[in-house]
A = this chain, B = another copy of it.
């Protein structure tokens, strides 16, 4: 199909499609004449993936380019792509070097060992976890670590569901894409579910009788 049809089918404006091609997110179309290119279903699908990572996953274009490069590289084992997709979500913020940071790193190392997780404390996710716990401790919410194992139980359950879902995909390229979709969009799904469960739990605990509409209403 021509670029105009690809644009109509995906709702992505033509200049945006050209930008994605320039940035290496989307492979170029096949040249059918001097200044005309033809696009196929793979382009359509890739555009949908890019839009989902942008709109729902909240990822930046540069981060998406990195993840797609990992998806497209058949040499990369699946768990590395999963790692790359996950690391892209993680934050890169100002480092603190205080007692709370040191204590939070110990809490994370203990958690990983207590749960027998085959993940090293040098993993970026472990660093992000320590950062969040240290920020809580600075706010006087150091006791939050007492519910950490409840959180970890829930995280294990979600991770098992994700892997079970990915494992069902037959073709390897589908599987790799499934990992990316599951990691990034699954994050958005869980975040929304948690907020819904909050509304329910707080309605029960603090006794509002009607179902909640807009939280701010």
Q: Which of B125, B177, B204, B212 contacts A199 (CB 8 A)?
A: B125
In chain A, residues 51-89, which have Cβ atoms closer than 8 Å to a Cβ of chain B? 51-52, 55-56, 58, 70, 77-80, 82-84, 86-87, 89
Q: Please give the number of chain A residues whose Cβ is less than 8 angstroms from any Cβ of chain B in the complex.
A: 104
* B195 engages A90 (CB within 8 Å): yes
- Convert A187-215 into 0s and 1s, putting 1 for each residue whose CB lies closer than 8 angstroms to a CB of B: 11111111111111111111010011111
Task: Let me know if A103 is at the binding interface, CB within 8 A.
Answer: no
Q: Give me the 10 closest cross-chain CB pairs, A-B, nearest first.
A: A83-B215, A159-B197, A125-B195, A129-B192, A155-B193, A150-B161, A154-B154, A119-B199, A52-B135, A147-B161
Given A86-B199, A128-B188, list of 20 further CB < 8 A pairs? A52-B135, A55-B94, A70-B216, A77-B208, A80-B215, A83-B215, A86-B195, A87-B216, A89-B191, A90-B195, A118-B199, A118-B203, A120-B211, A120-B212, A123-B199, A125-B199, A147-B161, A151-B186, A156-B197, A163-B201
